[in-house]
Amino acid sequence: MRHYHNRGYPIGREVYPQISKILAPEYGEMPAEVVEKIIARNFGEDVSPEDLEFSIGNFLKAVAPIAGALAPIAGTVIGTAVGGPLVGAALGQLGSMAGRAIAPGKPAPPGAMPPTPAGQMMPAGGGSPSAAQLLQMLSRPEVFQALMAMIMGGAGSPNMMVGSTSVPSAAVANTIAALANQAAAEYNAVAPGGEAVPRYLLDERGEFLCDPAVPEQRAAVLVRRFNEAARQEYWARDEDYDDYDVEEDLEADMYDEMDLIDAYSEDWED
């Protein structure tokens, strides 16, 4: 690995320490300009490296207390239910699924996947332990870093440190998928029946936006719904800022007028 800092170059990990955590290690030792080009290639010219560095740092600071607060909640939900045969089996399945994602084709060790009792996915009337685990996991800074690394493609870090253990970034995404599927199954087992046809799958005329029998198409429709909501919120905030600027200008004009009045008053008194 070449060490550019010995030649007087500002290197990536010194200028962009947060971004360097989601890049493959060699990029942190390269000139900061290389990191800037990677950011431009993956995020476009509208996202500056400085903004991304600031955003990552702020996000990691924000999620740290959330992850700590969720830990006892997830532990309580799982601990309450783990006495039953089902949740232990479900968590064993998740571990095996994640293991197969890391090393596809290798069978799980004997006894790693106790059989789940038929028709019993979780304690009757209880919440979803997998949903609690998923929420806690999504608030972990390592998960955010792993997903950001995947956005970077080949330049992203292939592994993340979880405690003292190196974990492939792709394994994080696979575990999220396993937990999400298990949470949905647990919830559907106890949730009351909803709409026959969920409204988010329909357009304004009541026609399907996708083939409702294909999970990937349903997911794509929901992602579009989230993106539309995000755009609406963005423009709403932008309008609020514009209103604030107008109010600020009016306030400045008012003070200017008051200064003029005071000046004329002084002249009149003189």
Burial 108-147, CB ≥16 within 10 A → b, else e: eeeeebeebeeeebbbeeebbbbbbbbbbbbbbbbbbbbb
Beta carbons within 8 Å of 18's beta carbon, 6+ residues apart: 53, 56, 57, 60
Does residue 1 have a pLDDT over 60? Answer: no
Please indicate, yes or no, whether residues 189 and 204 belong to a single structural domain of this protein: no
Query: Where among 169, 194, 219 does a domain terminate?
Result: 194
Please indicate, yes or no, whether residues 147 and 111 belong to a single structural domain of this protein: yes
Residue 219 domain boundaries: 198-270
- Mean pLDDT throughout 98-125? 41
Please indicate, yes or no, whether residues 238 and 188 belong to a single structural domain of this protein: no
Please indicate, yes or no, whether residues 263 and 238 belong to a single structural domain of this protein: yes
The answer to whether the CB of 130 falls within 8 A of the CB of 94 is: yes
Each residue's pLDDT tens digit, 214-229: 999 999 999 999 999 9
Each residue's pLDDT tens digit, 131-160: 989 998 998 999 999 999 999 999 999 999
Query: Where among 152, 179, 194 does a domain terminate?
Result: 194
Please indicate, yes or no, whether residues 190 and 209 belong to a single structural domain of this protein: no
Please indicate, yes or no, whether residues 48 and 161 belong to a single structural domain of this protein: yes
Prediction pTM value: 0.64
Please indicate, yes or no, whether residues 168 and 256 belong to a single structural domain of this protein: no
Total structural domains within the chain: 2
Please indicate, yes or no, whether residues 127 and 24 belong to a single structural domain of this protein: yes
Query: Where among 177, 194, 211 does a domain terminate?
Result: 194
Please indicate, yes or no, whether residues 263 and 180 belong to a single structural domain of this protein: no
Please indicate, yes or no, whether residues 188 and 202 belong to a single structural domain of this protein: no
Please indicate, yes or no, whether residues 38 and 107 belong to a single structural domain of this protein: yes
Please indicate, yes or no, whether residues 89 and 183 belong to a single structural domain of this protein: yes
